[in-house]
Amino acid sequence: MLGMIDTIRELAKKTDEKILMVVLDGVGGLPMDLNGDTELATARTPNLDALAQQSQLGAVELVGAGITPGSGPGHLSLFGYDPIKFVVGRGALSAVGIGVKLSAGDVAVRGNFATLEGDRIVKDRRAGRPSDDKNAEIVTKLRAGISEIGGVPVEIYTESEHRFVVVFRAQGTPLGANLSDVDPQEIGVRPMTAVAHDEASQKTAELVNSFVQQAEAILKDEPQVNGVLFRGYSDVPHFPNFDEIYKLKAACIASYPMYKGLASLVGMDVLEVEGEEDALGGKVDTLRKYWGEYDFFYFHIKKTDSTGEDGDFAAKVKKVELFDALLPDLLALEPDVFCIVGDHSTPSKLATHSWHPVPLLIRSKYGRKDPATRYTEDEALRGSLGLRKGTDLMPLLMANALKLQKYGA
């Protein structure tokens, strides 16, 4: 049983209203001290402030109380897929996002280039966020040294900055994806050894551990990018089609491969974006170009998350302010339903994802107006939308767009 998805599929209807969902990745934050403000509250956001005064606010828990979501589960929840029932590893999302075709039995793995020192101690899990050109250089070096392991073909792909993707291709017998991470997700410790959690994944664990060992040997003379960390193993995932559930023609506007991969897996069209992630104008240009062709747009902004992960409070504030400057261009398109939300919180204080609810804003001509003055965590928690599950968001947006029929007699 798919539960609410089945119900929404039965109730959904086509209308002319357009929905624009903006995901400010990792937008939720914390004050650096108890008497301070969060990054959102610190930022100067006159456009967001004005929008909040026309909107309903609330807060969203993407997975559940106290559970810190990864980007994949966070986004699945926002798209209406229960992240406990619909599970996908980061590897498949990244692989599909860069155009890699996966076949049954293959396993894709998300990798981080890392800096190791001394006795293989992790100094930096992201190797200083190398440039995309440096990433491609390292991938080329690894490809020259690792093309197969024990007769299993190995494909290595650049993603962006410190991220890369490895695909182990099944040769007759499917490879399992149920194994532990190599990435300890902390510094000052050694990378972990991949351990299979079932018999089908034993071969994959051997492949992963061999790859890590060979990669460290190949990269030993690199001053910064001299190690690899793996997590997010996944085989080929399958999801109910987003367009069919919601009766929408949906499009994704994103730069990072993982988010494009997830949108593609649920059935959205992934639109081409010109320019770098920080050049948000390229995303707006794409939105304008295709505005007449789609009913629903997922518009992703990454750097509010990256700066939080770096523990850089001031930089995250600036990324929020850059989005605020962009906001009038989005509103000028006059979306019938406009939403701002995050896929998880990434407080600079923690320099990682956290369990804290993310602030939600919805503006539509059919929504009530809250007495809010700003789009901040505190205002959101006082808003009329209340504390919601992530999977509540799509039904709320559909209702505000008059795209749901009445349930029952």
In a domain? residue 179: yes
- Residue 102 maps to which CATH number? 3.30.70
Do both 100 and 199 map to the same domain? Answer: yes
Please indicate, yes or no, if residue 159 is contained in any of the structural domains.
Answer: yes
Residue 102 is predicted with a pLDDT of: 83
Q: What is the pLDDT of residue 99?
A: 82
Task: Check whether residue 222 and residue 334 sit in a common domain.
Answer: no
On whether residue 409 sits in a domain, the answer given is: no
Q: 367 lies in which domain range?
A: 4-86+239-400
How confident is the prediction for the chain on average, in pLDDT? 93
Name the domain count of the chain. 2
Residue 362 covered by a domain: yes
- d(Cα 119, Cα 287) in Å, to the nearest integer? 49
Residues 288 and 181 in one domain: no
Annotate 42-85 with DSSP letters as a single string.
HS--HHHHHHHTTSEEEEEESSSTTPPPPHHHHHHHHTT--TTT
Where among 207, 234, 261 does a domain terminate?
Answer: 234
- Claim to verify: residue 220 and residue 252 sit in the same structural domain: no
State residue 279's pLDDT score.
66
Closest of 228, 230, 232, 231 to residue 115, by C-alpha: 228
What pTM was estimated for this model as a whole?
A: 0.77
Q: How far apart are CA 132 and CA 350, in angstroms?
A: 26
Could you tell me if residue 280 is inside a domain? Answer: yes
Residue 406 resides in a domain: no
Domain boundary among 217, 234, 251: 234
Per the domain annotation, does 349 fall within a domain? yes
Q: Which of 234, 259, 294 is the last residue of a domain?
A: 234
Phi-psi region of 186 (alpha: psi -120 to 50; beta: other; left: phi over 0): beta
Q: Do 204 and 179 lie in a common domain?
A: yes
Say if 405 falls within a structural domain.
no
Q: Based on the domain organization, do 109 and 201 belong to the same domain?
A: yes
CATH code of 257's domain: 3.40.720.10
Indicate if 189 and 44 belong to the same structural domain. Answer: no
Residues 259 and 346 both lie in one domain: yes
Same domain, 149 and 102: yes
Neighbours of 61 (CB within 10 A): 20
Averages of pLDDT over each 10 residues, the chain, 409 residues: 81 97 97 93 97 97 95 94 86 82 88 94 93 94 95 93 93 90 93 94 96 96 94 84 96 90 89 78 94 97 94 97 96 98 97 97 92 95 96 97 93
